[in-house]
Amino acid sequence: MPSQETPVQFYVGIDVGSASVRAALVDGCGTVVAHADQPIQVWEPQPDHYEQSSADIWAACCSVTKKVVCGVDADHIRGVGFDATCSLVVLDKQFQPLAVNCEGQNHRNVVMWMDHRAVSQVEHINATQHRVLNYVGGAMSVEMQPPKLLWLKENLQESWEKTGHFFDLPDFLSWKATGVTARSLCTVVCKWTYTSDRGWDDSFWKMIGLEDLVEDKYEKIGNHVLSPGQAIGKGLTPEAAKDLGLPEGIAVAASLIDAHAGGLGVIGADVKGHNLPCENQPITSRVAMICGTSSCHMGVSETPIFVPGVWGPYFSAMVPGLWLNEGGQSATGKLIDHVVRGHVAFPELQSKAAASAHSIYTYLNSHLDLIKKSLPVGFLTVDLHVWPDFHGNRSPLADLTLKGMVVGLTLSQGLDELALIYLATIQAIAV
C-alpha cells in the first residue's frame, strides 16, 4: 500500500509589543509560514504616564491570528502561545477593565511597562532594603509591578477597592484564551518578586503597604504558577476559539514576557554549521540582546550571580533550571523615533523618503553614505555626542532620575544635521 504523508502541523505564536501585535503561523520544523501585524493604541495623558487598553490589545490579537490562519485546515493547528510586554492589567471582580487614570476612563486599564509615574513609590520600596530586592539587582525598577500597584492604591482608591485581578499582560492573554487565572513563572519572578522556591514573601508586601494583596492566598495577583510553555487548563475555550479563529481545545502554553521569548530564541538557537564562536559551546556562553522600544541584554548561568544594577538572578524564568540575569536600556527604539521625529527637518525627510519609496530610516542611512565623502561613516559625529538616558538608566546605574543630553549642536537644522544626530543616537545606544 502507498504510504500516507503525515499532515503538516501548525502552531500560532502571538507577540504583543509596545505599539503593535504580531502573529506568526509556524510549522513543526519551525518555518514561519505566514505572519501579520496590527498597531495598538497608546495613551500618554501626562509626562511619564503610558496607558493601553486590554480590550484593544485582545482585538488586535484576534485580528492578526485570523489573518495568519486564513486558508489553513483548522484540524492541523495544534497550539497557540502568547508573549507580551510586562505591562500591568487591572480588572474588577467580574474581569471587566478598571481605570488606571485620574480621568476614570475604564477602557484605559493597562499601565504600560515604560510608565514611570510611580517614582515616590519605588523610592519607598527600595528604602526598605527587603531581601527580595537582592533578586532585582539590589534596587527595584519603577518599571516593575509593585511600585505601580502601590501608586494605584495611593492615587486611585476607587479603582483599587473595585479591583479583583491584577495581571501581567502575558498572563492576561493566557486567561483570555483559557479562562484560567494561572500565572507564568516568567512574569511573576521577573516583575513581581515571586521566587521559584519560596513563592510570595508575605513580609515584603506588608512592609511596603500592600498587605491587602496577601489576603485570600494572593488571589488578586496569582496563587497558581506554571512554568513557561506548560499547557494551561483544558486549552482554548469556545469563546476564545471563536474570537481567534482557532479550533476549540487546542493547547495554550503558559506565556513569556516578550523580551524573554526573544531571549529564549537566541539563547537556545541551533547554530551548527554557521561558523559562529558559540558553536559547540554551552548556552551559558551566550548573551541575547533583544531590541525594540527598549533593549534587554540577557544571559543565563548554572549558579546564581548577583550584580548590582542588573536584574536577577531569576531561576527558571526563561530557560528551565538556569538562572537569568538581565540588563538593558529603557528607551532605544523609542529614543531613535523621538530624536528623528522631533527634529525640525523631519517633514522634509518624510517627503524625500516617500518619493524614493523607502522608509525614513533606509533613506537616512543612504543620506549618511552621501555626506560621508572619504571618511568612514562613524567619524561623521566626532563633534556630536548623545547621552541616551532620556528615560532614565535601567542598568547598570539603575537610576531613573538620569536625563538625556546632546553635546555639539550648531544652529544648522537641515537634513544633514538630522542624519548626523540620528547616527549619534545609534552610536550612543550601542556604546
Q: Is the pLDDT of residue 249 over 80?
A: yes
pLDDT at position 254 is 98
Closest alpha carbon to 148 in 109, 92, 202, 95: 109
Cα dihedral 378, 384, 390, 395 in deg (nearest 10): 50
Query: What pLDDT, on a 0 to 100 scale, did the predictor assign at position 305?
Result: 97
Rg value, the chain, Cα: 23
- How do the domains of the chain map onto residue ranges? 10-113+152-257, 333-430
CB 308 within 8 A of CB 138: yes
- Measured between alpha carbons, how far is 54 from 108 in angstroms, rounded to an integer? 8
In this prediction, residue 373 carries a pLDDT of 81
Which of 113-117, 274-278, 386-390 is least confident?
274-278
In this predicted structure, the answer to whether residue 128 has a pLDDT above a threshold of 50 is yes
d(CA 309, CA 116): 18
pLDDT at site 1: 44
* In the predicted structure, residue 431 carries a pLDDT above the cut 90: no
In angstroms, rounded to a whole number, what is the distance separating the alpha carbons of residues 132 and 144?
Answer: 13
d(CA 331, CA 18) in angstroms, rounded, equals 12
Least confident of 79-88, 249-258, 374-383: 374-383
Contact 258, 80 (CB under 8 A): no
The pLDDT tens digits for 279-318 are: 889 999 999 999 999 999 999 999 999 999 999 999 999 9
d(CA 392, CA 291) in angstroms, rounded, equals: 17
- Asked if pLDDT for residue 357 goes beyond 70, the answer is yes
Q: By mean pLDDT, which of 31-40, 61-70, 367-376, 398-407 is the weakest?
A: 367-376
d(CA 118, CA 140): 11
pLDDT band at 4; cut points 50, 70, 90: low
- Please, which pLDDT band fits residue 375 given cuts at 50, 70 and 90? confident
* Predicted local confidence at residue 351, as pLDDT: 96
Residue 38 has pLDDT above 80, yes or no: yes
Q: pLDDT digits over 199-211, tens only?
A: 999 999 999 999 9
Confidence of residue 5 (pLDDT cuts 50, 70, 90): low
CATH class held by domain 333-430: mainly alpha
88-92, strands of its sheet edge to edge: 51-52, 110-111, 88-92, 163-168
Residues facing 21 on adjacent strands: 16, 38
CATH topology of domain 10-113+152-257: Nucleotidyltransferase; domain 5 (3.30.420)
> For residue 8, what pLDDT is reported?
86
What percent of the chain stands above pLDDT 70? 99
The closest alpha carbon to 259, from 223, 221, 305, 299, belongs to: 299
8 Å CB contact between 405 and 386: yes
Grid coordinates given for 359: 522608509
Q: 51-52 and 110-111 as β-strands: parallel, antiparallel, unpaired?
A: antiparallel
| pLDDT for the residue numbered 347 | 97
CB 429 within 8 A of CB 343: no
Q: Convert the pLDDT of each residue in 138-193 to its tens digit.
A: 999 999 999 999 999 999 999 999 999 999 999 999 999 999 999 999 999 999 99
Secondary structure element (H or E) that encloses residue 157, with its range: helix 157-162
Q: Residue 256's beta-bridge partner residues?
A: 83
Instruction: Please tell me the pTM assigned to this model.
Output: 0.93
Q: Taking phi first (over 0 means left), then psi (-120 to 50 degrees means alpha), and beta for anything else, what does residue 270 get?
A: beta
As a whole number, the mean pLDDT across the chain is 95
Contact of 92 with 164, CB cutoff 8 Å: yes
